[in-house]
Structure 1
């Protein structure tokens, strides 16, 4: 039904709307009901899941025919979710391992997404651009899989609409997508995603967030940007695992055996994601794309600086509150040690060094700017921890502000100096 959209034109929404009506009001028992019913549908005697799915597809079809969403992306969004769910269900027949279920979703959705875009291209005599199709299908599958991990099964309509809209954004930003870039992005990010999960460095949702972020960074920024990103994720994960049992005894260890979840990933990397999207869009913005490089590197320097400061500094006694310098217990928000401060400065310097080596616009002075920005971001994190962090302003929000400070300081310094 989705692939028929180029033929149906403005009536592409009609078959999905009909399915929604039949699911909601006509099919209340029998073989079709049993085929599509979820446990909650059986309790209510109505195929609400199928009705919601079909209505979401109808809404996307209207966006495609009336608002301007490219038809191949409408088809990809529908097929990514449908066949992603199928892939996850097939894996569930033989294994209840969460990682394998997520992998089944991404593989099933990616294959269907590529096939759907290719089918639309064939029907409309448009060129088949395999690298672009692969990037969009995999990105859409990762987005949908991530939302499926974070939401409930009944939220498929929200997942589909979100996937379609984000694919629209990715398509607009991906001005040039090469075969080598996409192949490198897929190979590197999938390998590192599996490694992060297998080593216990991330939950399934955290792994999906990191892989999606890595894919976007490589395609929109390049391998140099990815090296900056992975310097945070790699070294940060190792520092979290470093002497973990001792940190646990001291009460300063990360929860879930140090595995990073979506909140942790997004708290530390949201600013970086905005920067890489800004860089990709800089060709149509009145802003020098180089500034986005400094903002990206500065945010990652702040993230790694804060992580090393906490993970290394937490192993030492006699922390002091950064705002008053009074002694506090280990693990107290805003408590710092001189060992942690040195480690944080080293972390910011590592990111500055990677940026110097691999980002073309970053000079030695630029690396110093990134390092200072990262260190000040770490300091902002400690100050916020001592003053406002709590139930209403959690750790993820503090991390976000810290990375934002690192990005803003680095960008302003680069703008003034260069």
Structure 2
């Protein structure tokens, strides 16, 4: 299901769009074979295995070859793309019938990728806008994911749970779209298998998915994702990462958790854009005009994602979920504290290296200003205040602990920047370590004090 080079005709329409669209439609039809899984039972893998064998060894020319062939397939005289897609689907089918992957999730994983790409190709007929292409993938994949799960439920005579189906379909589509942005066209098998495995995890964690949670989660996260892209606060991949993260936080944690998350993304994005031209002149501006990519989003929020997943899992195990709540808030406090310290504190002169206190040029890794320290403390306090107001069970002392954890995480970021960033670790890894410090300090302090 590739993106291929296209030559513009005199009319301005891409000359290779129609073959690409037909190929995407062909892959979608192959993906639809997954719906027969409840009828085929343990033989659910067979149709895909047959397609894989035919693609690899049987179809070397003719109309079917032309329908499914990618440029690389034509050079090699073999439908490797279709074979890989079908083999991945066959592997998921075996996991569903032999290992325990729920059949609806197998179907959803195949359908969201196949029809998501078809939706993207349909949009590509009229525009090359990457955001609209991602929207086409999201709409096509989500609708197909819901329809596939509903079809399995009907064939299996089980309940049709539309809110749950919608959550899983949208989450799976976002995962697939994100991986497609990050990887290459030949990696469709990896995208499909990864989507299936993550859907399995999401399904296990989503003990109870209410209609209100799903509707609110989708409406709010999609609206904020669109706004972040339109305002230049995130790239397409960054937008997809943020929307997926927001959806999982709302469904697994709740509105209060989402408010803590947004306090980082909202205030942090505004601070990044603040006096951006001056930051560019000083050499401290974020790349891509401040638009957050996937690496930036995950570097700052990966710990938070792990915390909300552990919180959801704690409902099935004898573990106090409150610790993960504080760890989540502490990681976000560290992320916002570090962002404000860098984006606002970096506007002031005479930064000093945190390890030796010698004066260094603005933008030097590990360089800090006293103004940046103040802004960092304000940032961590903002997250602590939001947690106090909206997270259940957070006490004033707990909010202070969150603020302290965030402040220490910010300084850990500076310390790592002065010692290991660049030579050993990249900026995203340092951000991850800083948020981890914020999470651990907050959770341990709450455990000791409360």
Q: What's the offset of the Cα at 1:347?
A: 0.2
The residue that corresponds to 1:385 in the other structure is: 417
- Counterpart of 1:81 (choices 113, 137, 140) is 113
CA shift at 1:361, angstroms? 1.2
Distance 2:369 2:83 in 1: 57
In the TM superposition, 1:99-110 aligns within 5 A as 99-110=131-142
Distance 1:334 1:180 in 2: 45
Question: Which residue of the other structure, out of 140, 145, 162, is the alignment partner of 2:172?
Answer: 140
Aligned 1:11-410 pairs, distance under 5 A: 11-410=43-442
- Where 1:328 maps in the other structure, the secondary structure is coil
* 1:5 Cα offset (Å): 0.5
What secondary structure sits across from 2:34 in the alignment? Answer: coil
In 2, Cα distance between the equivalents of 1:382 and 1:48? 48
Distance in 1 of aligned mates of 2:278 and 2:284 = 9
The 2-side partners of 1:43 and 1:232 are apart by: 49
Tell me how far apart the structure 2 counterparts of residues 195 and 218 of structure 1 sit (CA, whole Å): 18
Q: Whole-Å Cα distance in 2 between the matches of residues 361 and 415 of structure 1?
A: 14
Rounded to whole Å, the distance in 2 between the matches of 1:5 and 1:284 is 30
Distance in 2, matches of 1:164 and 1:145, equals: 13
- Residue 313 of structure 1: how far off its partner (Å): 0.9
- Superposed displacement of residue 391, structure 1: 4.2
Instruction: For 2:423 and 2:269, locate their aligned partners in 1 and report how far apart those are by CA, in whole Å.
Output: 25
- For 2:269 and 2:81, the matched residues in 1 are separated by 39
Question: d(CA) in 1 for partners of 2:234 and 2:123?
Answer: 21
Cα distance in 1 for partners of 2:344, 2:318 equals: 42
Other structure's SS at 2:402 match: helix
CA distance in 2, matches of 1:15, 1:356: 55
TM-score when normalising by structure 1:
0.99
How many corresponding residue pairs?
A: 418
Instruction: Compare 374-383 and 26-35 and name the one that shifted more.
Output: 26-35
Distance in structure 1 (CA, Å) of the matches to 2:423 and 2:294 = 18
2:36 equivalent in structure 1: 4
Unmatched runs of 5 consecutive residues or more in structure 2:
1-32
Structure 1 Cα separation of the partners of residues 323 and 379 of structure 2: 21
By how many angstroms is 1:286 displaced?
2.9
For residues 136-160 of structure 1, the C-alpha deviation after alignment (integer angstroms, 9 at most, x for no partner) is: 0000000000000000011000000
Aligned residue for 1:2, secondary structure, equals helix
SS at match of 2:285: coil
How far apart are residue 161 of structure 1 and its match? 0.2
Distance in 2 (alpha carbons) for counterparts of 1:85 and 1:28? 24
Alpha-carbon distance in structure 2 between the residues aligned to 1:109 and 1:201? 25
1:188 Cα offset (Å): 0.1
Runs of 4+ in 1 over 4 A off after TM superposition: none
Q: Deviation of residue 392 (structure 1)?
A: 2.8
Tell me how far apart the structure 1 counterparts of residues 223 and 105 of structure 2 sit (CA, whole Å). Answer: 27
Deviation at 1:123, TM superposition (A): 0.4
The whole-number CA distance in structure 2 between the counterparts of 1:23 and 1:88 is 24
